[in-house]
Amino acid sequence: MAKSKSSGRWLQEHFNDEYVKRSQVDGYRSRAAYKLIEINEKDHLLRPGLRIVDLGAAPGGWTQVAAQKVGKSGVVVAMDILDMDPVVGATFLRGDFREESVLEQLLTLLGGEPLDLVLSDMAPNMSGMSAVDIPKAMFLVELAHDFARQTLKPGGDLLMKVFQGDGFDQLLQGLRHDFSTVLTRKPKASRGRSREVYLLARKYRGSLVEVALISSIKVLS
């Protein structure tokens, strides 16, 4: 079957993309790595010794960056329902983080300790129809937010991709309730025509009682 003109244009744009070329030279698995690198340069999210989970991690660009920054003293767990090749300095856990069995595996990897940072670059397969795509994307964002509330330590951070549209304002309200500061970031590596932005929610307000869910599950298992 012949390729459509639109798919041909996308392929040409992709292979001519500055960040695609850089990722091939630098050894990153995706151009998305540079989005996290730029945000980190501005906001200093990634530090040695942090405990991090990367949701929807495949193919692993963000995981690579996180593992490099936290070093041997830190913990990086990459999670995805898709398979992913190993990343040096990180542990890959395949499965749906909403499932109790998968969460229990995560808790074992973390030694029952809460997280410093949750990363999410998750996005659904896009159809090009906003009425379909935005609700799907917002559902993933809500899942990441809920996961962060269950697993972050007080003072922890959440960075996640969001597509602007219906539900965005309500999401901001919820994040501002749960975190001290919520910042919007649009890194240069994010294509200008894309509706994606990144929300950086800092200093989780959750109490140790709320975060104790992570330890209670460990005790019961």
Q: Which residues are catalytic?
A: 161
Phi, psi angles (nearest 5°) of residue 17:
-65, 135
Q: For 63, how many CA atoms within 13 A lie in the half-sphere containing its CB?
A: 26
CA–CA gap between residue 93 and residue 79 (Å, rounded): 5
Q: Which residues on adjacent β-strands are paired with residue 80? A: 94
Residues 6+ apart with CB under 8 A from 208: 154
145, 170 contact by CB (below 8 A): no
Residue pair 122/55 in contact (Cβ under 8 Å)? The answer is yes
Distance of CA 156 to the CA centre of its chain: 14
